[in-house]
Structure 1
Amino acid sequence: MRAAGARVSLRPVRGRAQGRSGGLPRGRWRPLGVLVRAAGRGDAVSRHELLSLRGRSVAWVFPLALLIGIAAVDVSTPTFQIISWTVLVPGIAAAICGVRGTAVLAVLSAVVYVLADNYWQHHARTSLSGLVLVCLGGLIAVAAAVVRVGGERRMVHMRDIAETTRRTVLRPLPQGFGGLEHAAVYLSADTQARVGGDFYDVQPGPHGTRVLLGDVQGKGLGAVETAAALLGTFREAAYHEPDLAAVAARLETRMLRHRAHTAALGRSDGDRFATAVLTGFSPELPDAVDVVVFGHEPPLAVGPRGVRRLPAVGGLPLGMGDLLPGPSVAVHRLALARDETLLLVTDGVTEARDAAGRFYRPADDVARAVAADPRNAEPRRLVALVRDGTLRHCRGRLADDTTVFAVRRPDG
């Protein structure tokens, strides 16, 4: 979930609805439909935030209101005896309240049942079995709340671990890092893991600032491990190597070494590869950039004059350089005006499909947006535009991890 000049991360938070509802303060309440979807996903964090007011839980209001309503209807309607429905109250509390709240509501349900059966007598008294049913339902609800709360705590702990892993692989980038204005969006196809094989980074050094964006083939922890290995090599090589081709060669060597290591361990992902785009910004080249493409979608240049695809011929993905007899690295020096932004995306964007199976074309949306307002070429606006367009096109059903990265010189 998971949100962009300086670099701003625009990771979305799943299960949250934006705007106002019912005239209450923004962010305090959410529509009931969003609550139902969050509860159905088992998203404990979203559900807790939806059921809070000014930082305090109000989940107990709903089962308590139900209990009061049952008692009121039972007392005011002599011909309609529904006091036994109080067994529903602790069951609902077990789904949205804590253990203590569920226990309190279970006791209240039993007390209301006894009062209605013995002191508010306008019906024939119910049998002892009704009270036993309410008490037994309360005990079962408390036990269910214990299990649910324990599971939610474990889930939140795992989410914290995944978030730590993500921040280790995709480290936060300071504002203006490397003397560039940049923004990034990362969307994980796995809403629980929140981390995958997409990677990006910016590394300034004495030879200019280098930018890397890529996508490791496959999913899971193996893809994350490979991305971490490539980023570690990039951060060192991009700083020390004066030639961008040498940085690219170091990345290829690291990928081959990593594959050999995983193969020696007997793992099934020993043939993993990665597509990537490596870019070099140099103070000596204020109107150009050096680009190396490893089997990836070429970057787009977005500016007030429109959108153009940089003519960078894609080479083989990282890990496949040994298939060619000679050097597989080709550095392309391409014109990039000072007011143009470099837009890089992974295949989660370009392979997003709509209901008819059509692929998403981000260049078309970006061109229309920039024509309407040239400020949309700013990195922050640009990544938000592509993110929203991707989610709208695929109706929120991401088939792959999705990364959008935009970067430009600050005086653009």
Structure 2
Amino acid sequence: MESVSARAGRRGGRRPRERYPRAPWPTAPHRQQLLRVRGRSVAWVPPLLLLVAIALTDVNTGEDFRIVSWIVLVPGIAATICGVWGTAGYAVLSVVTYALVDSLWPDAYRAGLPDFILVALGGILATLACAVRIRGQERMLRMRYIADTIRRTVLRPLPAVWGGLEHAEVYLPADVEARVGGDFYDIQPGPHGTRVLVGDVQGKGLGAVEMAAALLGTFREAGYHERDLGTVAERLETRVRRHRGHLSDLGRGGEDSDRFATAVLLDFPADAPDAVDVVNFGHEPPLVAGPAGVRALPPGDRLPLGLGDLVRDASPPVVRRCVLAPGETLLVTTDGVTEARDGGGTYYPLTDAVSHALAADPCTARPPRLVALVRDGVLRHSAGRLDDDTTVFAVRRIIGTGLPA
């Protein structure tokens, strides 16, 4: 999946909270030099300049101002910005430079063996510290690589046009280092139409990711095989209960066994090119954006997934059919958007922002532009401080394109 953020990055102008570089973790530490000019590392320059400065200062000052022992700082600085071999090289160069500079002075003014040992020992310790730093970087990048793999597994890559639908999405985790959370979305083409699921698992952490993965797995199977959208909805409710029961049997009670999820289940039926069927599980109603403006779909009457057992005589899920005009886009967001606040505590005005943008340019209804608009608006409104995972998902049927049988 190529997000709107990645596409925007290619058009120029780095966006806030944009996707991270995806260098494979085994080689990334060798590329992660802190100082680069035109793609080439210049991390070796600061330690070298310091080495030369200390040597020249010591040679050109009097015997009352001997600073050659300060050269021990050179491998220490190299350890923070260079690799292991670079740090080791500066450790050796510092010892050699110390010996040469100190030998230029008469015996009475030489710093002597104690400072020589200090410089040598400092170089050894700096090299060891650099090795520890590099190992920590490798561990961090390995964990990031695993997190990216989990994200691609849970939120699998989607073609830009799939199942007769044009779509765009962006996912911003509240915890930047976590890179994956409880928001989920997917598109599943099938013989009965193309189904879409967007939702948000209550809570954070790996427990939320586990439930999101369980729901997406069920959706991908039921969304393909089941003819009736209501049956797909029932399968999702059952999956949450089974998942929580499994966690309870494992002894993982508490928050994990009480989780629920809000979600919007959409169906673009093959036999109704101007309609979309909707089942809403306690989620914010999707917005419809198009040349005629913005309107919200009717709110759902279903409880969030996992809370259906609170109703004694639960009725089957109600599937609502809504008419879509040509060129209209469905916009589904999680509460990271609707609950984003500025410094004064004001919520982000999603509907107003989209309405004003459409009035200025009707082409904003295209999914990539609509998602970029909401993403940038939320980040500006909240000054980049997201209190919850944020997903913006836009989808519309491609005019004149039939859905796959």
**Does the pair score TM above 0.5?**
yes
How do 1:5-404 residues align onto structure 2 when only pairs under 5 Å count? 8-10=2-4, 48=32, 50-53=34-37, 56-78=40-62, 81-119=66-104, 124-268=109-253, 269-324=256-311, 325-327=313-315, 329-404=317-392
Equivalent residue of 1:397, what SS? Answer: coil
Partner Cα distance (2:340, 2:90) in 1: 47
Alignment RMSD:
2.6
Change (3 A) 1:85 1:19: farther
Deviations 1:193-240 (A, max 9, x none): 211111100001111111000111121221111111111110111111
Q: Note the C-alpha offset of 1:287.
A: 2.3
CA distance in 2, matches of 1:315, 1:49: 52
- Aligned letter for 2:354? V
Q: List alignment gaps of at least 5 residues for structure 1.
A: 1-6, 21-43
What is the distance in 2 between the residues matched to 1:394 and 1:12?
21
Q: How many equivalent pairs are there? A: 379
Q: Which deviations, in whole Å up to 9, do the C-alpha atoms of 1:332-359 show, x marking residues without a partner?
A: 2122222111111111111222222222
Percent identity of paired positions between Structure 1 and Structure 2: 65
CA distance in 2, matches of 1:49, 1:362: 41
State which drifts further: 197-206 or 391-400. 391-400
Q: Match of 1:304, as an amino acid?
A: P
| Cα distance change on mapping 1:340 and 1:129 into 2, 3 Å | same
Distance between the aligned counterparts of 1:45 and 1:151, measured in 2? 10
1:266-320 CA-to-partner distances (Å, cap 9, x unmatched) read 1121111111011111232222211111111111111233222222334210011
Partner Cα separation in structure 2 for residue 293 and residue 76 of structure 1: 79
Instruction: Decide whether aligned partners of structure 1 residues 140 and 328 sit closer, same or farther in structure 2, where only a CA change above 3 A counts.
Output: farther
The residue type paired with residue 366 of structure 2 is E
Work out the CA distance in 2 between the residues paired with 1:350 and 1:371: 21
Per-residue CA deviations over 1:227-266 (Å, capped at 9, x if unaligned) read 1111111011111111111111111111111111111211
Deviation at 1:174, TM superposition (A): 1.6
Change (3 A) 1:257 1:11: farther
Distance of aligned partners of 1:69 and 1:248 in 2 relative to their CA distance in 1, 3 Å threshold: same
TM-score, normalisation: structure 1: 0.85
Q: Is the 8 A contact 1:8 1:380 kept in 2?
A: no
Runs of 4 or more consecutive aligned structure 1 residues displaced over 4 Å after TM superposition = 44-47, 53-56, 76-81
| SS of match in other structure, 2:163 | helix
Whichever residue aligns with residue 2 of structure 2, its letter is V
1:66 Cα deviation (Å)? Answer: 2.5
Amino acid at match of 1:368: H
2:386 equivalent to 1:411: no
Contact 1:252 1:321 in 2 (8 A): yes
